[in-house]
Amino acid sequence: MNQLQLFLPCAAGVEGFLADEVHGITGLTGQDLLVGRGGVLLRASWRQAMQLNLHSRLAQRVLVQLAHRPYRSENDLYNMASDVAWEIWFTTRQTFKVEVTAQHSPLQSLNFAGLKVKDAVADRFRHKSGVRPDVNTQWPDVRIHLHLTTDEATLYIDTSGEPLFKRGWREDKGDAPLKETLAAAMIAASGWDPHGDNPQPLYDPCCGSGTIVVEAAQIACRIPAGMLRRFAFEKLLPFQAHVWSAIKNEAEGAICTSAVPIFGSDVAFRMVDFAQRNAERAGVAQAVQLRGGDALQRMPPCDQPGVMLLNPPYGERIAAAGTAGRNASERAADRAQGLAVGREEAQTEDGGEFFSQLATHWKKNYSGWTAWMLTPDLKLPGKMRLKESRRVPMWNGPIECRMFRFDMIKGAVRDRAAKAAPNGGPRHEG
């Protein structure tokens, strides 16, 4: 179990950040850590697989690759699965499930492909011990993943179980909440580092149920992402309870107090309450400062300029972010007519007004701050009359987004200096 082939899937655009994270957790480099499409491939030990489950904030799962070969038919898949030594991973007393994903597979039915793999697993156990394990499609003990391309098939066993974005602390949430893995990806893309040479405050002025601020606070306090949850590897045969206990004890010993302040606010006091309860469950209630307030009116939460990080309101969430938003009854009327009102929809007219007002507020009051915003609206900088200094492609599920960086330099000072300069005279810009 010291030379496992692992694959850690992640959201598109996050692969490079995930590779950096995996290096930080395991120390792996070079050919042992490769960036792939939609994830990271690595050669690692069983112990490192457990560490990655506990610590990774960006991976969706930790999968162990058990077979990889060309295929043309379902019979090829059966033969491939039959050759895998499933008996070293689980027993006939445990239930299993086969999940299938595909990219341009020529097979007519993915369900039939999964059925052939299921039969191969069961037949191998019956041949070895005379007993077949049961299938449980709802709550299996063991998840087997089959991934198909046009001509190649890969079999994995899942060490995570529930997707890794399910941290175990978010019980209170609003409509269409941000996934914890995406919040962590936003933090990684921003470069915010509470343990670096120049730690800066972090502020989310549209915090909702607190996903970004809680993730940031756990990073600042060195609290592992998976500290509150269980994992599928605890039911697999290579699992050793004493090794897992040692890994968790080491992680608990590294937990510290945050060196930087972390702030969140939301116009909806109900959401602030949700965020507070989530922060308490996540063990970071002392590290975050949460309050109510309109994003269009709230002043900087501290004297030191820092980083603003937000998934700005659009569609349904616009009303929960500032006074320029539509009210709930208007959105409910749209929903009743079958119109899309989720946060996936593009910016609306009222949204454009909100963002232009927000930019004006920032330019006036947030000098020295850096703002990072995730949005599917590629025209957002124009609506805000701001020039982004950087844009990072990122996907929110199936929705293609961009993270825009805006540097709040003293634009107002420049404007005043230009106006004060006499006609034809030199203009001194600050």
Given this model, what pLDDT does residue 327 score? 44
Backbone angles phi, psi at 43, to 5 degrees: -100, 120
Amino acid at position 204, single letter: D
- The predicted model scores a pTM of 0.85
Q: Comparing 423 with 256, which gets the higher pLDDT?
A: 256
- The owner of tokens 């590897």 is 233
Q: Where are the domains of the chain?
A: 4-158, 180-221+257-414
Superfamily of 180-221+257-414 according to CATH: Vaccinia Virus protein VP39 (3.40.50.150)
pLDDT band at 170 (very low <50, low <70, confident <90, very high): confident
Fold of 4-158: VC0802-like (3.30.2130)
Handedness of CA 288, 181, 343, 282 (dihedral sign): negative
H/E/C letters for each residue in 348-402?
Answer: CHHHHHHHHHHHHHHHHHCCCCEEEEEECCCCHHHHHCCCCCEEEEEEECCEEEE
- Report how far residue 281's alpha carbon sits from residue 227's, in angstroms, rounded to the nearest whole number: 11
Q: Under a CB-based contact definition with an 8 Å cutoff, are residues 19 and 35 in contact?
A: yes
- Report how far residue 389's alpha carbon sits from residue 52's, in angstroms, rounded to the nearest whole number: 33
Q: What is the mean pLDDT of residues 173-184?
A: 83
Note the pLDDT tens digit of each residue in 205-245: 999 999 999 999 999 999 999 999 999 999 999 999 999 99
Tell me: pLDDT of 85 over 50: yes
- β-sheet with 63-70: strand ranges across: 33-36, 39-44, 4-9, 63-70, 152-158, 142-148, 96-102
- Report how far residue 31's alpha carbon sits from residue 59's, in angstroms, rounded to the nearest whole number: 19
pLDDT band at 314 (very low <50, low <70, confident <90, very high): low
Given this model, what pLDDT does residue 410 score? 63
Q: What is the dihedral of CA 191, 192, 198, 202, to 10 degrees?
A: 150
Given this model, what pLDDT does residue 357 score? 92
Q: Half-sphere exposure (CA, 13 Å, Cβ side) for 120? A: 23
Q: What is the mean pLDDT of residues 2-10?
A: 93
Q: What is the mean pLDDT of residues 338-362?
A: 62
Note the pLDDT tens digit of each residue in 25-82: 999 999 999 999 899 999 999 999 999 999 999 999 999 999 999 999 999 999 999 9
Given this model, what pLDDT does residue 177 score? 75
Q: Under a CB-based contact definition with an 8 Å cutoff, are residues 372 and 389 in contact?
A: no
- The owner of tokens 């982004």 is 388
pLDDT band at 300 (very low <50, low <70, confident <90, very high): very high
For 108-113, the CB contacts below 8 A with 24+ separation are 110/148, 112/74, 113/74, 113/77, 113/146, 113/148
| 98-107, 344-353, 399-408: range with lowest mean pLDDT | 344-353
pLDDT band at 319 (very low <50, low <70, confident <90, very high): very low
Say what percent of the chain tops pLDDT 90: 77
Note the pLDDT tens digit of each residue in 370-429: 999 999 999 999 989 999 999 999 988 888 899 999 999 865 434 433 444 444 444 333
> Which tokens hold the place of 150?
């046009």
Given this model, what pLDDT does residue 411 score? 53
Spell out a b/e string for 157-182, using b for 16 or more CB atoms within 10 Å of the CB, else e.
bbbbbeebbbbebbebbbeebbbbbb
Tell me: pLDDT of 349 over 50: no
Backbone angles phi, psi at 140, to 5 degrees: -75, 150
Backbone angles phi, psi at 399, to 5 degrees: -95, 120
> Which tokens hold the place of 213?
């601020």
pLDDT band at 149 (very low <50, low <70, confident <90, very high): very high
The DSSP-derived string for 209-229 is TTHHHHHHHHHHTT--TTTT-
Tell me: pLDDT of 90 over 90: yes
